[in-house]
Chain A
Amino acid sequence: GAGVSQSPSNKVTEKGKDVELRCDPISGHTALYWYRQSLGQGLEFLIYFQGNSAPDKSGLPSDRFSAERTGGSVSTLTIQRTQQEDSAVYLCASSRAGTLDNEQFFGPGTRLTVL
């Protein structure tokens, strides 16, 4: 596609429910990243995929958070038993390769609100 797309754009859920957030990276980009942006914490790295594997998942805040990527393309970020502190904008980015001199292209984000 022309850019990184994410769905849904907004998600409101009740505390304790599970949510799934989707990211479609730019075609041909092998590296995919998830970040979270909240008022108190700024932009935080969550997880990095190279192809379908995740060499770095160090930013996932708890075991309620998981992510997968299939076919080297679409990725889903799942948050189980959501808590109010999970409320944030979840941003996905992709780049041509997971090297340290590539720009990352960001999607528009999913705004998650946990009531």
Chain B
Amino acid sequence: SQQGEEDPQALSIQEGENATMNCSYKTSINNLQWYRQNSGRGLVHLILIRSNEREKHSGRLRVTLDTSKKSSSLLITASRAADTASYFCATYSGYALNFGKGTSLLVTP
């Protein structure tokens, strides 16, 4: 079953613009993770935010977490064509990561 749901399903922006993706989840969590997937193959871990954290930064990435609303957002600043990929949020359910259906981001030069 899918725990996280990303919004929007697809996003198209130009290089240099910021991209914001949102994720909602259903049950209580210890942490929430964001992953990127290029061309439908392996996923790359981007960032993990714990339930007692509200905001976290990594390079051009900024993640927020609102446990009261059961939601998270991923902001990519100054986007590049190389950021074109699908982005997934994931939370643990038992030992398994449950992924949302992802946001497909297209960054055009």
> Closest CB-CB distance, A40 to chain B, in whole Å?
11
Q: Which residues of B contact A106 (CB under 8 A)?
A: 35, 42-45
Mark the stretch among B19-27, B62-70, B71-79, B95-103 that contacts chain A: B95-103
Q: Which residues of B contact A37 (CB under 8 A)?
A: 40
Specify the chain A residue showing the minimal Cβ separation from B33. A103
A103–B43 Cα distance when bound, in Å, is 11
Interface residues on chain B, size class = 20 to 34
> Closest CB-CB distance, B25 to chain A, in whole Å?
14
Q: Which residues of A contact B94 (CB under 8 A)?
A: 56, 58
Specify the chain B residue showing the minimal Cβ separation from A55. B95
In the complex, the answer to whether A89 meets B99 with C-beta atoms within 8 Å is no
Specify the chain A residue showing the minimal Cβ separation from B99. A43
Interface residues of B (CB under 8 A from A): 2, 30-31, 33, 35, 40-45, 48, 50, 88, 92, 94-102
Seed contacts A55-B95, A56-B95; 8 additional CB < 8 Å A-B pairs: A31-B95, A37-B40, A93-B97, A101-B50, A103-B33, A104-B97, A106-B42, A107-B42
